[in-house]
């Protein structure tokens, strides 16, 4: 049986982005539809639509935290506070491991909004050299804080 980390890395290598890979790997835990998870998280990849902002693996992790702790209709505000606390913890732990939670920093300034940047990403195998480790880290951190 595959671990969540193995599932997330497999989805990443199948061409899904970091956010999709993370959320997908936790679907069974929350009874969340896998196809819906892939669609829902699609825009968060590459630092949110290739903008290089918050790493997609981290945003995928935040979505997972929302499924676990988030405040729904008619729920107490304490759920929101718990979600914020866990989000802060995820981002801090990730930063301790990788130095930043910003995609462009993790990719050493690679600009994914340009064709040249996307080619650089491919030519330098940043998917395997950077993104794979980020995905693994987020799953590990979530396993600790959930």
pLDDT tens profile 3-44:
999 999 999 999 999 999 999 999 999 999 999 999 999 999
By percentage, how much of the chain surpasses pLDDT 70?
A: 100
Q: What is the spatial distance between Cα 17 and Cα 127, in angstroms, rounded to a whole number?
A: 10
CA distances from 25 to 41, 104, 123 (A): 12, 24, 28
Residue tagged 């600790």 (tokens) = 144
Structure tokens at 1: 């049986």
Task: Give the pLDDT confidence score for residue 113 in this predicted structure.
Answer: 96
pLDDT score of 127: 98
Identify the band that residue 70 occupies on the pLDDT scale cut at 50, 70 and 90. very high
Position 50 scores a pLDDT of: 97
- Token pair recorded at residue 23: 């959320």
- 3-state DSSP helix/strand/coil % of the chain, to nearest 5: 70, 0, 25
The mean predicted confidence, pLDDT, of the chain is 97
Q: Which residues pair with 123 in a beta bridge?
A: none
- pLDDT-derived band at 117 (thresholds 50, 70, 90) equals very high
């Amino acid at each position: 049986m595959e671990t969540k980390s193995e599932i997330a890395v497999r989805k990443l290598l199948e061409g899904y982005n970091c956010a999709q890979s993370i959320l997908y790997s936790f679907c069974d835990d929350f009874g969340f539809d896998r196809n819906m998870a892939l669609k829902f998280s699609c825009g968060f990849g590459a630092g949110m639509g290739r903008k290089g902002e918050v790493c997609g693996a981290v945003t995928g992790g935040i979505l997972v935290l929302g499924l676990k702790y988030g405040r729904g209709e008619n729920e107490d505000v304490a759920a929101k506070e718990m979600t914020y606390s866990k989000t802060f913890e995820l981002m801090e732990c990730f930063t301790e491991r990788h130095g930043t939670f910003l995609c462009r920093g993790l990719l050493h300034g690679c600009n994914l909004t340009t064709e040249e940047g996307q080619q650089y990403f491919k030519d330098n195998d940043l998917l395997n050299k950077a993104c794979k480790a980020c995905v693994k880290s987020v799953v590990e951190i979530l396993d600790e804080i959930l």
